[in-house]
Structure 1
């Protein structure tokens, strides 16, 4: 897998189209969750993805924040590439981007609750009870820098 890291301003229209298409496929269609998937955060975020040999996006996430906290969001693995442990590689890439651009800031994520142990393996600790976000159980988690 080939890793890519680009700020919104560096993305080509084709790259952003592929990212948006995959995010809608996973978060809106697959999870049956109608919401405004593309948002203002996209314009300030670093977009991180793994590209398969086919050229298609296999996994994706975004990083944004400031010096007081950084955030991971829209973390996904393309359905066609699940079961290959790409989430581990993607999360390592996302954390490296967070460290590079927000070195002293803790990393925060609103994780789907069933992934609490996965994120826990990377040092994230729960900071909230489980809550519903767009009808899906989530939990706030934080990792100190």
Structure 2
């Protein structure tokens, strides 16, 4: 069972911040063999959607209100630990992210920069492609918008 919480940057404990940064690095830098600056100075403005199982962060996303990152509200850094991907935690974390954007920011238009291979997953959540494919940190991505 995944326990999902929503926290501001200031509400994160030091241990949570360390664990989520470690997991982001594990997936986006090591697993995907992509050298990039994960700590981009935007975490302080984001709300952090944290999925915990057995006292370990196994799923995560960060969300922004419109104007804090993109013109409209946005979701990014969506991940699920490799050993937990057989569950539907990606869907769980995204559904919580969408609901949180709608409730906390009162916004229904949500953007995300999706890795291209995940287009169908995001389509199933109501996102549609806007524009063509582009490289972000050497990985094919597509802009997607819901609402």
TM-score (norm 1): 0.94
- Return the match for 1:90 from 87, 93, 100: 93
SS in 1 for 2:74: strand
State the shift of 1:121 in Å: 0.8
CA deviations over 1:84-143 (Å, ceiling 9, x no partner): 111111111111111122213410000000111111111101002011111111000000
- Return the match for 1:141 from 112, 136, 144: 144
Point out the more displaced range, 66-75 or 123-132: 66-75
Distance 1:105 1:7 in 2: 20
SS in 2 for 1:44: coil
Which position in structure 1 is the counterpart of 2:124? 121
State the shift of 1:42 in Å: 0.4
Which position in structure 1 is the counterpart of 2:18? 17
Which position in structure 1 is the counterpart of 2:56? 56
CA deviations over 1:19-69 (Å, ceiling 9, x no partner): 00000010011111111001111010000011012x111110000122751
Question: Conserved in 2, the CA contact under 8 Å of 1:41 and 1:64?
Answer: no
The Cα RMSD (Å) is 1.2
SS in 2 for 1:42: coil
Unpaired runs of 5+ residues, structure 1, are: none
Count of matched residue positions in the alignment of Structure 1 and Structure 2 = 143
SS in 1 for 2:59: strand
Distance 2:72 2:106 in 1: 10
After the TM superposition, list the runs of 4 or more consecutive aligned residues in structure 1 that deviate by more than 2 angstroms.
65-68
Unpaired runs of 5+ residues, structure 2, are: none
TM-score (norm 2): 0.93
SS in 2 for 1:99: helix
Residue 138 of structure 2 corresponds to residue 107 of structure 1: no
